[in-house]
């Protein structure tokens, strides 16, 4: 933010993606992503495009078939694996040289041992875990922050309320996790942004056995999709569901809301493992930005969401 000047035009989605990737690198991996940001983003975009093409195709091409598209995808995955392996190797070397474990997620994985045979995780297992946490841990939060500021750009009165709260709570100092309980409006803005523009706009489950839910019989091995976008805009649960109203998120409203009327992080035993981390990060970033800048939309044309892997 120190490099931003009054009157600058900024691609906020790009800025937030770079920020959250840096945060994920430091907190989850204990390394500085630095110049590798661009390489990771290019690889990610290619993998996401391929995933969505396969998802939409009536006849998906098997991954093992030697087609030009499959070759490109495998090459991209190898490149992404290589970048993440570099980060893993860096962290492992730091642990060995310093003789102590860091507080980051990767350090805990590197030093973890199987409780039965005492073996560490293999390189493949480490890469898989890091891939999941690193990729899921930055793009979704970046999208939440981007949509939140898009909404605040449409509602300058809400942006001013956010700034007033931040000034009152922080009195000019940087926010810390201890301040989050008092950043009430800030958290409500994040919640409402995820209601209107949920980063995960659909979640799927596969039925292991025949079952009946309500009046619906679901055969075994059937994929069932549940859309946050649809449910979050249902007027049965949300008055004036298409409107941006952060004030709806009072404790009484949250308590009265049915369990799965709002599920930006999914739910059940496979709910997002990074939920608390994401809410903490998004609230602190919003507060830090509101403290120092004011953002206005360049134009007010409706911005259509692109249903990729996240929204």
DSSP state string for the chain? -TT--TT----HHHHHHHHHHHHHIIIIISS--TTHHHHHHHHHHHHHHHHHHHHH-SSPPPTTS--HHHHHHHHHHHHHHHHHHHHHHHHHHHHHHHTS--SSHHHHHHH---TTT-PPPPHHHHHHHHHHHHHHTTHHHHHHHHHHHHHHHH-HHHHHHHHHHHHHHHTTSPP-GGGGGG-HHHHHHHHHHHHHS-SS--EEEE-SS-EEETTEEE-TT-EEEE-HHHHTT-TTTSSSTTS--GGG--HHHHHHS-TTS--TT--GGGS-TTHHHHHHHHHHHHHHHHHH-----S---------SS--
d(CA 94, CA 102): 9
pLDDT band (50, 70, 90) for residue 42: confident
55 or 50, greater pLDDT: 50
Question: How many CB atoms are located within 10 Å of the residue 115 CB?
Answer: 6
Average pLDDT over residues 87-112: 81
128 or 10, greater pLDDT: 10
Q: Closest Cα to residue 307, out of 147, 197, 196, 192? A: 197
Q: Give the CA diameter of the chain.
A: 61
d(CA 18, CA 11): 11
| Cα radius of gyration (the chain) | 21
Least confident of 30-39, 84-93, 269-278: 30-39
**Per-residue pLDDT at 163:** 96
d(CA 106, CA 92): 9
Average pLDDT over residues 168-185: 96
Residue 211 has pLDDT above 90, yes or no: yes
Transcribe 14-51 into DSSP letters: HHHHHHHHHHHIIIIISS--TTHHHHHHHHHHHHHHHH
Average pLDDT over residues 28-55: 78
Residue 305 has pLDDT above 90, yes or no: no
Average pLDDT over residues 2-12: 93
- The token pair that represents 199 in the structure block: 């980063």
**219-265, pLDDT tens digit by residue?**
999 989 999 999 999 999 999 999 999 999 999 999 999 999 999 99
C-alpha pair distances (Å), 301 with each of 165, 228, 283: 29, 24, 27
- Name the one residue in this structure whose structure tokens are 């990074």: 274
- Name the one residue in this structure whose structure tokens are 């500085």: 32
**Per-residue pLDDT at 220:** 95
Q: What is the dihedral of CA 96, 83, 278, 308, to 10 degrees?
A: -160
d(CA 39, CA 45): 10
């Amino acid at each position: 933010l120190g490099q931003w000047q009054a009157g600058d035009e900024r691609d906020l989605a790009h800025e937030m993606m770079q920020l959250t990737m840096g945060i994920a690198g430091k907190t989850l991996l204990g390394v500085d992503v630095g110049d590798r940001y661009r390489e990771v983003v290019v690889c990610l975009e290619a993998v996401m495009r391929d995933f969505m093409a396969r998802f939409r195709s009536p006849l998906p091409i098997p991954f093992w078939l030697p087609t030009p598209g499959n070759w490109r995808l495998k090459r991209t995955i190898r490149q992404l694996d290589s970048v993440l392996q570099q980060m893993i190797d860096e962290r492992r070397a730091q642990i060995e040289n310093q003789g102590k474990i860091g507080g980051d997620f990767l350090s805990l994985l590197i030093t973890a041992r199987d409780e039965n045979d005492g073996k560490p995780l293999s390189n493949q297992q480490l890469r898989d875990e890091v891939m999941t946490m690193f990729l899921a841990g930055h793009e979704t939060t970046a999208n939440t922050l981007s949509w939140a500021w898009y909404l605040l750009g449409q509602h300058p009165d809400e942006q001013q309320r956010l700034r007033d709260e931040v000034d009152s709570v922080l009195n000019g100092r940087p926010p810390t996790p201890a301040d989050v309980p008092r950043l009430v409006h800030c958290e409500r803005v994040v919640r409402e942004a995820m209601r209107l523009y949920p980063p995960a706009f659909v979640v799927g489950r596969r039925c292991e056995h025949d079952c009946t839910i309500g009046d619906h019989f679901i055969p075994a091995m059937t994929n069932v999709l549940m859309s946050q976008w649809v449910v979050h805009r249902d007027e049965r649960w949300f008055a004036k569901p298409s409107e941006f109203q952060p004030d709806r998120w009072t404790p009484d409203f949250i308590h009265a809301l049915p369990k799965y009327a709002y599920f930006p992080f999914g739910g059940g035993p496979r709910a997002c493992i990074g939920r608390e981390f994401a809410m903490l990060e998004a609230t602190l970033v919003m507060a830090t930005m509101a403290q120092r800048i004011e953002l206005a939309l360049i134009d007010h044309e409706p911005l259509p969401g692109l249903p990729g892997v996240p929204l």
